[in-house]
Structure 1
Amino acid sequence: MGEAVQRRFLGLTAAVAALGMTATLSACGGGDAGSGDVTLKLVAADYGTGPENSSEKYWSGVASGFEKEHPGIKIDVTVLSWKDVDREVAEMVKAGNAPDIAQIGAYADYAKAGKLYTADETLAIRTTANFLPSLTYAGKVDGTLYGLPFVASTRLLFYNEKLFEQAGLDAPETWDDISSDAAALKAKGVDYPFALPLGQEEAQAETLMWLLSGNGGYTDDVGSYDIDSAENVATFRWLRDNLVGKGLTGPVAPGKLDRAKAFEAFTAGKVGMLNGHPTLMDEAEAKGVKVGMVPLPGADGPTKGSMGVADWMMGFKENGHRKEIGAFLDYAYSDENVLEFAEQYDLLPVTGSASAAMETDKKHQKLHEFLAALPNSTLPPFGKTSWATVSDAIKKKIGSAVAPGSNPESILGEISAEATQAEAAE
């Protein structure tokens, strides 16, 4: 996902303040015998695009600041690309060499296996209470918070203002608007009137946005998978009949269109509408594309809740450094740190106090619409260990549900059956 982080979590409580006493640290946290010093191994994902904005610079700065305040604790920072970081951490854990802290894309498997500390075991109460509720909910397994939200993002419908002006169009508010606007854009020769990337790269996210706009989703009110619900089937029938079937999604079939290619076409001025995030907004405007943004239109009006995305921080039990991990996490979630990361990568803070600070800062005005959507956002079911399997099934099959002549009910039913089986195996 790559973008934002938040940190505001006051000064350390009395228990954490005791961390200044290295002898106490080693006794409580399992430091090196005799030395009183503890080294925490931190493995984090790189949100940067090159050496000049690598996340390693950010984490090195946080580590340095923390070490000055806690002379008995050292932070060993390793930053890996998103292509490698989840796999590398999994291999470390399997080899019995887990990091103390990981900032990666998934936490549920480790939580279910009993390898993670809970938030209650590590964080100050005010740190935990500062996380946005929707993100806290998404970080829980069986009602207990293990995955600490690190950075977040939401999605809005993007449209090319120049192409809309040329076609005499206003911003869409409903599905019917999307269909009629896309037809007008096609008549003007726009390559991708509505880019619908349901290829394997990020199909699970694009799918969730549409399900939410049709008053559906991946799960029901009690958190069980409900992928082939009547609402979800109706949504994909609409996409099949009113966008794809009418030739309004461009020259590449949605099932073969990856998000990166759709985004690339948008920044090149070839797309009328698509679902986007803050990074795409910056990339498009840097190339001279003026971007309009509205909440994703629904069947009868704007969708009330956006899709949210988050990445996660977690503390591993293996080395027994519970208190030291807690001290570092409380420090990392200070407003100053959270906002610095969010600002650098155009992401959204995960804490209430940092979000409030960003909301009142005019320099972040371009992010305010995304920020406003975050509290009511719906995230994928990250707390299910089955989600990785289900997500993979969606990526492989969902594109065929919108192909002309397809049977969305049958395809959603296949995915739903896989989800039920995967959930039963949790």
Structure 2
Amino acid sequence: MKLGRKAVAVGIVGLLALTACGRADEGSADRQTGGATTTTVDDSPATGDITVWAMGEEGEKLPDFVKGFTEENPDAKVQVTTIPWADVMTKFQTAVAAGTVPDAIMIGTSFMPTMVSTGGLAPVPDGLVDSDDFVEGAAASTVADGVEYGVPWYVETRVMYYRSDLAEAAGVAAPTTWEELTAFAQAMKANGSAYGLQLPMGDAEDSTQVILPFYSQAGGSIFNEAGDAYDLDNQAMVDALDYYASFFTEGLSPLAGYGDTQNSAFVDGSDPAFISGPWMVNVLADMQGEDWVEQNVATVPVPAGTANNDSYIGGAHLGVFNEAKNADGAWKLVRWLAEPETQQEWYAATNDLPAVNSAWDDEALTANPRTQVLQEQLKNTIAPPTVPSWDELSATIETEAEKVANGQVTAEDAAKTIQAKADALGLGW
């Protein structure tokens, strides 16, 4: 799913199978995890009313979809309330404070640390799922302060889209390295396009979704070796900021208007390449038709820096509230939604990519060249960190990167400013 500013962040390395292994066969038993009490969940049928908050298109399609769950659990009833993404955090915080929470909630991955810090989410019960069976980046983004607070539901990552017809006319192939991407953009511009590559800029366009991968591609790590502090004032950050800014300073990317003109500029060829998620295939098909997309649009993994070709990972998780009235039923619903067969059916209903490896064995995914590109990219991704201070710090990164792109500060000075902000914020726990 694509979301607006900080609505998803997810940050994937490897796709593994989710199975029933590790589930408790016995009844419930209390345990303490990270200061919160939770229980194991047995394999008996779910019962009672289960209330769920979900957002966007997923929230609209989930009510009909969960009929499969209630058919298997006839003594359970699922009520889904669709919440606008723009309202979810306000409603979440209000409900937690007032004690009026539903049982379960869909969680845009970048919301996880803020939701956890309110004390509203319950830890995932022992044995419900095996985190090693999920896409690594997705599973990692459910962990906050060492505790799992959600189960990955679906994933997305960003790949490179480009006008294959214009690339052929310009005499260039799909780029695989930073140097080749620059040369590719230059060739596209020289062939008549106004620009060569679309890149987001600033806080409003969430530019960390390309800057953070550039940083990782240059060999950077968000935290120090101990994992207890940010580590962002280093050569990798300087290289990432310089590389990002180079597309603007060399006139290969527009300095403004990315969010407003991305699709039309791609279609008319004036800006013939961008990095985005799987939803763009349908967006472009709605604009120009499926045949036009098939004939003129190529998708490939993002080019690699000196260290890797990590891309940004997004998607959503499922969590249960600490004060849920029917936590047992809610967790059983979450477990059902994470089963491979269910995820295959969910992909058929929504095109949301599965968070579990065995679901990717479905012919609908294996026979589609574009989903195979996404699966390949999912082996190399980076997720934004699940710490409360990241949202504020990422805004600083975006502001400083914009200054570098406009020639107002050097990348070295920007990296120092970013680190100073990071030190002042701490991790936020």
Cα deviation, residue 313, structure 1: 1.3
CA separation of 1:386/1:359 partners in 2, compared to 1, >3 Å: closer, same or farther?
farther
Counterpart position of 2:186: 183
Matched, 1:208 2:218: no
Question: 2:302 is matched with which residue: 281, 296, 299?
Answer: 296
- The 8 Å contact of residues 60 and 77 in structure 1, kept in 2 or not, is answered as yes
Alignment-mate amino acid for residue 423 of structure 2: T
- The 8 Å contact of residues 45 and 79 in structure 1, kept in 2 or not, is answered as yes
Matched, 1:112 2:117: yes
Aligned mates of 1:59, 1:180 — CA distance in 2: 45
Cα deviation 1:38-78 (Å, max 9, x = unaligned): 3222000113xxxxxxx345311233222233233322210
Cα deviation 1:357-384 (Å, max 9, x = unaligned): 368631x332111112213321111x21
CA separation of 1:109/1:299 partners in 2, compared to 1, >3 Å: closer, same or farther?
closer
- The 8 Å contact of residues 401 and 412 in structure 1, kept in 2 or not, is answered as no
Aligned mates of 2:400, 2:94 — CA distance in 1: 29
Aligned mates of 1:296, 1:95 — CA distance in 2: 45
CA separation of 1:276/1:367 partners in 2, compared to 1, >3 Å: closer, same or farther?
same
Indicate the SS of the match to 1:313: strand
Counterpart position of 1:101: 104
Question: 1:332 is matched with which residue: 324, 333, 337?
Answer: 337
Counterpart position of 2:416: 413
Alignment-mate amino acid for residue 312 of structure 2: M
- The 8 Å contact of residues 8 and 332 in structure 1, kept in 2 or not, is answered as no
Aligned mates of 1:269, 1:45 — CA distance in 2: 34
Cα deviation, residue 220, structure 1: 4.2
Aligned mates of 2:225, 2:275 — CA distance in 1: 25
Alignment-mate amino acid for residue 240 of structure 2: T
Structure 1 segment 343-358 matched on structure 2, within 5 A: 343-357=348-362
Cα deviation 1:301-334 (Å, max 9, x = unaligned): 9x34332223221110113533222211112222
Aligned mates of 1:400, 1:392 — CA distance in 2: 13
Aligned mates of 2:387, 2:115 — CA distance in 1: 11
Aligned-pair identity (%): 22
Aligned mates of 2:27, 2:259 — CA distance in 1: 44
Aligned mates of 1:318, 1:72 — CA distance in 2: 22
Aligned mates of 2:92, 2:182 — CA distance in 1: 44
Counterpart position of 2:77: 74
Counterpart position of 2:11: none
Indicate the SS of the match to 2:125: helix
Aligned mates of 1:167, 1:424 — CA distance in 2: 47
Matched, 1:41 2:51: yes
CA separation of 1:344/1:359 partners in 2, compared to 1, >3 Å: closer, same or farther?
closer
Aligned mates of 1:186, 1:201 — CA distance in 2: 23
Structure 1 segment 5-404 matched on structure 2, within 5 A: 10=20, 14-15=25-26, 38-47=48-57, 55-105=58-108, 106-121=111-126, 124-125=128-129, 128-199=131-202, 200-223=204-227, 224-240=229-245, 242-250=246-254, 253=255, 256-259=256-259, 261-286=261-286, 287=288, 288-289=292-293, 290-300=296-306, 303-357=308-362, 361-362=366-367, 364-381=368-385, 383-404=386-407
Aligned mates of 2:231, 2:333 — CA distance in 1: 39
Cα deviation, residue 175, structure 1: 2.1
Aligned mates of 2:147, 2:213 — CA distance in 1: 27
Cα deviation, residue 399, structure 1: 1.6
Aligned mates of 1:238, 1:319 — CA distance in 2: 47
Cα deviation, residue 221, structure 1: 4.4
Aligned mates of 2:160, 2:370 — CA distance in 1: 14
Cα deviation, residue 129, structure 1: 4.7
Cα deviation 1:113-132 (Å, max 9, x = unaligned): 433222235x6245x45322
- The 8 Å contact of residues 42 and 100 in structure 1, kept in 2 or not, is answered as yes
Aligned mates of 1:222, 1:282 — CA distance in 2: 43
Alignment-mate amino acid for residue 162 of structure 2: Y
TM-score, normalisation: structure 1: 0.81
Aligned mates of 1:98, 1:357 — CA distance in 2: 36
Alignment-mate amino acid for residue 242 of structure 2: R
CA separation of 1:220/1:195 partners in 2, compared to 1, >3 Å: closer, same or farther?
farther
Indicate the SS of the match to 1:104: strand
TM-score, normalisation: structure 2: 0.81
Cα deviation, residue 394, structure 1: 3.0
Alignment-mate amino acid for residue 266 of structure 2: F
Aligned mates of 1:360, 1:16 — CA distance in 2: 37
CA separation of 1:129/1:218 partners in 2, compared to 1, >3 Å: closer, same or farther?
closer
Cα deviation 1:200-222 (Å, max 9, x = unaligned): 22212121122223222533444
* Structure 2 segments unaligned to the other structure (5+ residues): 9-14, 29-38, 41-45
Alignment-mate amino acid for residue 322 of structure 2: K
Alignment-mate amino acid for residue 292 of structure 1: A
Q: C-alpha root-mean-square deviation of aligned residues, in Å?
A: 3.1
Indicate the SS of the match to 1:323: helix
Aligned mates of 2:139, 2:363 — CA distance in 1: 20
Aligned mates of 1:78, 1:268 — CA distance in 2: 40
Indicate the SS of the match to 1:76: strand
Tell me which moved more, 72-81 or 289-298. Answer: 289-298
Indicate the SS of the match to 1:119: coil
Aligned mates of 1:221, 1:307 — CA distance in 2: 22
Aligned mates of 1:373, 1:236 — CA distance in 2: 22
Aligned mates of 2:153, 2:282 — CA distance in 1: 21
Indicate the SS of the match to 2:266: helix
